[in-house]
Amino acid sequence: MRARPTRVSCTVGAMTDRYGVVGSPIAHSLSPAIHNAAFEVCGIDAEYRAYDVPAGYDEFCGFVDNARLRGLSVTLPHKENALRYAGRNAEALASKIGAANTLLLAGAEPYACNTDYPAILSAICDVLEITLDDLAGVKVAVLGAGGAARAAVAGLAACGSTVRIYNRTRARADELADEFGAQAADWDDRGGLDAAIVVNATSVGLAPNVDASPLPAEALRGDLVVFDTIYNPLETRLLREARAAGARTIDGLEMFVRQGADQFQRFTDHEAPVEVMRAAALATLSAG
Ligand code: NDP
């Protein structure tokens, strides 16, 4: 096991800056499409590729140390490794979440941060036309207690929202609630939720199980904001039924594009062309 990274300089002979996404599996990632589209429209000489690196901290370090990248998007199973790689150079809430989806590698030291929770928060604020401060005291039901739920709970709790976590495995809901000052509830009680916002951070409804929904249709009301983190399919059964009930909805692609746009800005110091990135993601999704 190694303790500290010793990286090869990220500046390569050619002028082209290199970025990428690391994970496993990674072949179906939308990240190369959105970042390369953004580089192109912004006239930035850069390339962004997907790298399949097997699980393990040593494997992760070996890859990052030799890949000569200026910035890296990080997905499963490496989000914890990315945080560990950066050591103390990490955003405070990323450290508390225990996972980083972004590594900045152009400086003298690597820096780790998490753009998932700001993506969730900003998508909610935009739909409700409120600021982050307005989220204080708002009741939110989070379905799930895995990685996506962790980002949602951490971000919402940091804003002072009243968060209740419903998870199939109750012990995981209890643990997550304890960590972030939230409440935990039984999965079977989710139909009677008392909240203004619902975030589905389970994989219920994810393709190919597109007929599944994490909530009964009767639980959906017109005054709810319903956020489904799933983006395959783009319109899940949950979102379809929420719209039918008159609720405002946010799809998982909105979260994905926002976390990517935030990364792009951090990678390049250039304002992200969000609409171009969204269109690239949609085109890639519909190409199958
Ligand atoms: P995890 O594997 O960490 O968590 C999965 C969660 O789903 C757990 O809470 C699990 O409950 C729950 N779950 C799985 N199957 C069922 C079921 N049949 N009934 C009830 N609950 C179930 O996954 P992630 O947190 O990484 O991903 C969760 C979702 O978030 C995925 O659909 C993924 O697509 C989405 N996501 C979207 C992103 C975006 O950018 N839009 C980014 C990351 C994730 P239990 O604890 O009981 O196993």
Q: Would the pTM of this model clear 0.85, i.e. be above it?
A: yes
CA of 8 to the centre of ligand 1 (A): 36
Atom of ligand 1 minimally distant from the CA of 151: 25
Which is more confidently placed, 14 or 213?
213
CA of 151 to the centre of ligand 1 (A): 12
> Is 79 one of the annotated active-site residues of the chain?
yes
Is 5 a residue whose pLDDT tops 80?
Answer: no
Separation between Cα atoms, residue 5 and residue 3, nearest integer Å: 7
Banded model confidence at residue 14, pLDDT cuts 50, 70, 90: low
Q: What is the mean pLDDT of residues 205-222?
A: 97
Whether 230 lines ligand 1, by a CB cut-off of 6 Å, is yes
Residue 73 structure tokens: 């998007």
Whether 232 lines ligand 1, by a CB cut-off of 6 Å, is no
Query: What is the sign of the dihedral through the CA atoms of 258, 61, 180 and 266?
Result: negative
Which is more confidently placed, 266 or 6?
266
Is 10 a residue whose pLDDT tops 70?
Answer: no
Who contacts 38 (Cβ-Cβ below 8 Å, separation ≥6)?
A: 44, 261, 264, 272, 273, 276, 277, 280
Is the CB of residue 73 less than 8 Å from the CB of residue 277? Answer: no
CA of 149 to the centre of ligand 1 (A): 8
Atom of ligand 1 minimally distant from the CA of 144: 9
